[in-house]
Amino acid sequence: MEIAVGALSGMVDALPAKLGDLLQQEYTLLSGARGDVGFLQSELGTMNAALLRCESLESPDVQTRAWVAQVRDLAYDIEDWIDLFAHRVDGGAAASPGAAAATSSSSSSGGFLSWVRCCVNKVTTLPARHVIATELQELKNRVIELSEQRKRYRFDPPARHAGGRSGVAAVDPRLVALYADTSSLVGLDAPVKKVSEMVVDDGTTGLKVVSISGMPGAGKTTLATAVLRRLKEENKFHCSAFVSVGQKPDIVGKTLKGILSQIGNGYAGGEDIGRLIGMLRDELKDKRYLIVIDDLWGRTEWSTLKCCFRDDNLGSRIMVTTRNDELAKECSSNSDESVYKTGLLSDADSKDLFSNKAFGKGKDCPNHLKDLYDIIVERCGGLPLAISSAAGALAHRFSKDEWERYESNLLPSSHSDELNLKQILNLSYNDLPSHLKSCMLYLSIFPNKYEIDVERLVRRWIAEGFIADARHASKEETARSYLTDLISRNLIQALHLRHNGTPSCYTLHPVIHDFIVVKSMEENFVTVLDAKKEALSTNNGTVRRLSLQNSVKQDLAGARNDMIKHARSVTVFGHANGVPRLNDMSVLRVLDLEGCNGPLCLDGLCKLILLRYLNLRGTDVSELPAQIGELRCLETLDVRSTKVKELPASIVSLEKLMHLLAGNAKLPGEISKMNGLLTLSCANVWKNTGSVLPELADLANLRELELFCDASEISGDNKTRVSFSSDGFKRLKQLSIQGSLPSVAFVNSSLRKVEVLELKYEKGISDGSNGVSGIEHLPSLKHVLIEFSQKDAGATATIASVRNAAEMVHPNHPDVSVKVDGKAI
């Protein structure tokens, strides 16, 4: 069993820097406390190196695993201590690096009064500083104890043999694909034909590279092997070879020598890579060859390997299999036409494959197992390796109890097929850098087959602290690049593409989902409680992130308050009665109750001083606490589709609030002072009491604005037309207007930064006139999206007018996408 360090090493690696920031700020620490902080900073750096060493162990002992678990808990507690520090000393006023400098400047200008205030502050915060110093000493003692343990226990990898391998050589989990009986393969006829045609039937005489990419377990190796067999039988090539590179490549000893041994008379030379490449090129001279490079992981290995293959214009071919779509494109001769993306099996093929292995070829599932059979096959999601693994584990077993135990258990059995599947998935997980491991494990919070909204996920990642600051990109842009990387690695799936080709939602394949839930349990990263099943978490320790699924009133019967009081995030899917008491959850950063049904209790909400993300969308909440302005760390507030009628005035004091999704709630006065807002979603801005649009126009940093409108609520002269003037909204990039607004007009040089315009109407104007004018006055416009719930004369006129302006008048000729009744036209 490999050790589950994963995301932990990245977290511990970040702590010394956070402690360093604490030392640089002018907080008043008790005598000796500053030295203790410095000690923690130094010791944690050494501890992270030890963690990385532990991660390299293939079979860690019980003591090593226990040590890693203790480091994990310590790291969480230190980070919580750091984040709580400033708030307990001065209520969060010094929570930012600039606060100390402001205090220093005030002292120099205020003279005696500033000195008096400083003295009073020291006295009034003395109890809090004593508590902080005591906690710091406790943390220091824990660090010392763990350091002593590290010295007592040696975390050295086992002795390595001369061949570079430790202990018994691991069996390649893909070997079964190399020697599979072709008669037992299901659903491969069409893919084999297609890839064979891509390899040989395009008339190209020059060297060509064809790549096969897809998620782990999708049958890439099996497909490449089947294509190789077919082309060898047809005598299309003078010689051929099949070699696997793998995650830990041995280019000299395994790959190059392997190719030489298959196309020539073997190899008896030395270990010089230059000489090997020369010999291989000589062997391939004047030959039409087919080489399969299986399981390629890195660009460096490909850069070396492609030097080996000479091009004599004889129609030679290279096939590459990889889990990374971007790498597949880089290897291929043509990034689009020479890449084959493996798909999933159909329901019929999935059942055929399962039945053949579990019951025997041509035999059907026994009647008493049919319900479980359907559930298990569906859970495999058409993934060939998962289907084979499940069928192998249940082969020739006809007890319903055994099948029920298998269906309810996420953890792999000891059956070799199941362990083989876990090993293959582990390869993809272990290849992730630490920051992507954290982001990947975080997806285990969401239920199986859940469609995860991009904005929701990105904002949650940021609130959790997973996204580091970058010099040339915002945190949102960095988070989206992480998602792109995970898609490229075929670990997550994109859904519902937008106008620019980016997805609006993501989901996980059921097998990948089960795998990361188990990983999260191993690392105590997420605790999942499902009311329909037994508690999925096997950890008895402190809960750090809690996901309640299919929740009911009794969900937390097995999770004591002392276990969940250190939770950093709480997410509930189901009934609101499953929400734990908030009063004692002092380190909570994320509270996501979207879609919870039933009455919701928010007692203690305003005590969550570290809360950064609050999602109440689609709940029965009708009022927010008046003191919500005390949540000084809050970055996202979502109350769309709730019964909240008015936002408390104290919201204006939330200086860190970036995303305010207000729904139908009335906005507070002086909203123009909320200069931190990047995203605003609201309704009724044209109420009969007067428009608040001019106030919104003064929001200096607003990037995205979503307006829900009702024509019946527009007052006075604006009854038939709403205009956006040339003043205001200086940085707005995306504008969305939805509802029954009759007409929108843009004047010359208005909304100069807007790149995306979304207009979603219930219906067109009743008199059949155009509902949108002046888009040619939006100088930065790139994309226009128009949707109508129904087609009528007004809709037709509006669509024609916008298309004409985009094609004939606007200098940028922006793209125009149109949907009517949900269908693109």
CATH number for the domain including 479? 1.10.10
Give Cα 143 to chain centroid, integer Å: 32
771-806 CB burial, b ≥16 within 10 A, e <16: bbbbbbbbeebbbbbbbbbeebebbebbbebbeebb
Give yes or no for residue 577 having a pLDDT over 90: no
Q: Name the pLDDT band for 327 (thresholds 50, 70, 90).
A: very high
Query: What mean pLDDT is predicted for residues 82-97?
Result: 61
Q: Does residue 409 form part of some domain?
A: no
Cβ neighbours of 465 (radius 10 Å): 16
Query: What mean pLDDT is predicted for residues 368-387?
Result: 93
Q: Which residue has the higher pLDDT, 610 or 564?
A: 610
Query: What mean pLDDT is predicted for residues 580-600?
Result: 92
CA distance 56 to 155: 9
Strand 823-824 relative to strand 815-820, pairing: antiparallel
- As to burial, measured by CB atoms within 10 angstroms (0-12 exposed, 13-18 middle, 19+ buried), residue 487 is middle
- DSSP structure class, residue 575: B
Query: What mean pLDDT is predicted for residues 755-760?
Result: 93
Shared-domain flag, residues 602 and 721: no
Last residue of a domain, one of 510, 536, 558: 510
Give yes or no for residue 108 having a pLDDT over 50: no
Phi, psi (degrees; rounded to nearest 5) at 761:
-110, 150
Give yes or no for residue 263 having a pLDDT over 60: yes
CA distance 252 to 277: 9
Three-state secondary structure call for residue 742:
coil
Query: What mean pLDDT is predicted for residues 644-660?
Result: 96
CA distance 370 to 733: 54
Are residues 687 and 715 in contact, defined by beta-carbon separation less than 8 angstroms?
yes
Last residue of a domain, one of 638, 665, 692: 665
Shared-domain flag, residues 463 and 551: no
Give yes or no for residue 718 having a pLDDT over 60: no
Q: Does residue 9 form part of some domain?
A: yes
Query: Which pLDDT score is estimated for 236?
Result: 87
Last residue of a domain, one of 102, 121, 150: 150
Give the rounded percent of residues in the chain with a pLDDT score beyond 90: 47
**Torsion sign over Cα 444, 445, 448, 449:** negative
Kindly give the residue spans of alpha helices, DSSP state H, lying in 346-415.
347-358, 370-380, 384-394, 400-408
Q: Does residue 166 form part of some domain?
A: no
Shared-domain flag, residues 300 and 328: yes
Q: Name the pLDDT band for 58 (thresholds 50, 70, 90).
A: low
Shared-domain flag, residues 715 and 801: yes
What Rg value do the Cα atoms of the chain yield, rounded?
A: 31
Give yes or no for residue 656 having a pLDDT over 70: yes
Shared-domain flag, residues 2 and 143: yes
66: CB partners within 8 A, 6+ apart? none
Q: Does residue 119 form part of some domain?
A: no
Nearest residue to 779 via CA among 749, 756, 809: 749
Are residues 310 and 283 in contact, defined by beta-carbon separation less than 8 angstroms?
no
Query: Which pLDDT score is estimated for 87?
Result: 76
Count of all residues that appear for the chain in the document: 825
C-alpha to C-alpha distances, 16 to 37, 38, 358, nearest whole angstrom:
9, 9, 53
The alpha carbon torsion through 774, 780, 785, 788 (nearest 10 deg) reads -20
Query: Which pLDDT score is estimated for 163?
Result: 37
CATH number for the domain including 299? 3.40.50.300
Give yes or no for residue 405 having a pLDDT over 90: no
Strand 452-453 relative to strand 503-507, pairing: antiparallel
* DSSP output for 64-89: HHHHHHHHHHHHHHHHHHHHHHHHHH
Q: Name the pLDDT band for 580 (thresholds 50, 70, 90).
A: confident
CA distance 549 to 410: 15
Give yes or no for residue 86 having a pLDDT over 80: no
**Torsion sign over Cα 333, 336, 338, 344:** positive
Are residues 289 and 316 in contact, defined by beta-carbon separation less than 8 angstroms?
yes
Query: Which pLDDT score is estimated for 533?
Result: 64
Are residues 463 and 612 in contact, defined by beta-carbon separation less than 8 angstroms?
yes
Model confidence pLDDT, tens digit, residues 505-550:
999 999 999 999 988 888 889 999 887 665 455 556 789 999 998 7
Q: Does residue 307 form part of some domain?
A: yes
Per-residue tokens: 727: 């003043």
Query: Which pLDDT score is estimated for 106?
Result: 42
Query: Which pLDDT score is estimated for 411?
Result: 54
Shared-domain flag, residues 749 and 646: no
Give yes or no for residue 643 having a pLDDT over 60: yes
Give the domain range for residue 755.
684-824
674: CB partners within 8 A, 6+ apart? 651, 652, 654, 657, 660, 699
CA distance 569 to 76: 13
Model confidence pLDDT, tens digit, residues 211-227:
999 999 999 999 999 99
Shared-domain flag, residues 556 and 451: no
Query: Which pLDDT score is estimated for 307?
Result: 92
CATH number for the domain including 614? 3.80.10.10
Write out the E strands in 206-341.
Answer: 208-213, 239-244, 289-296, 317-322, 339-341
Are residues 48 and 72 in contact, defined by beta-carbon separation less than 8 angstroms?
no
Give yes or no for residue 754 having a pLDDT over 50: yes
Q: Name the pLDDT band for 652 (thresholds 50, 70, 90).
A: very high
Are residues 527 and 543 in contact, defined by beta-carbon separation less than 8 angstroms?
yes
- As to burial, measured by CB atoms within 10 angstroms (0-12 exposed, 13-18 middle, 19+ buried), residue 818 is middle
Shared-domain flag, residues 496 and 632: no
Give yes or no for residue 122 having a pLDDT over 60: no
Farthest-apart Cα atoms in the chain, separation: 95
Q: Name the pLDDT band for 420 (thresholds 50, 70, 90).
A: confident
Give Cα 76 to chain centroid, integer Å: 21
Query: What mean pLDDT is predicted for residues 300-318?
Result: 93
CA distance 30 to 573: 44
**Domain total for the chain?**
5
Are residues 253 and 183 in contact, defined by beta-carbon separation less than 8 angstroms?
no
Query: Which pLDDT score is estimated for 45?
Result: 78
C-alpha to C-alpha distances, 641 to 22, 592, 599, 614, 634, nearest whole angstrom:
40, 14, 15, 14, 20
Q: Name the pLDDT band for 159 (thresholds 50, 70, 90).
A: very low
Q: Indicate the average pLDDT of the chain.
A: 83
Shared-domain flag, residues 234 and 322: yes
CA distance 135 to 139: 6
Phi, psi (degrees; rounded to nearest 5) at 111:
60, -130
Q: Does residue 145 form part of some domain?
A: yes
Per-residue tokens: 127: 């109890």
Give yes or no for residue 554 having a pLDDT over 70: no
* 290: amino acid identity, one letter: L
Give yes or no for residue 160 having a pLDDT over 70: no
* DSSP output for 510-534: HHHHHHHHHHHHHTT--EEEETTSS
Q: How far apart are the first and last CA of the chain?
A: 54
Three-state secondary structure call for residue 621:
coil
Q: Does residue 400 form part of some domain?
A: no
Query: What mean pLDDT is predicted for residues 582-590?
Result: 92
**From edge to edge, which strands make up the β-sheet containing 452-453?**
452-453, 503-507, 493-497
Q: Does residue 204 form part of some domain?
A: yes
Cβ neighbours of 458 (radius 10 Å): 21
Shared-domain flag, residues 59 and 140: yes
Shared-domain flag, residues 445 and 581: no
Shared-domain flag, residues 495 and 552: no
Instruction: Report if pTM > 0.75.
Output: yes
CA distance 601 to 542: 24
Give yes or no for residue 94 having a pLDDT over 50: no
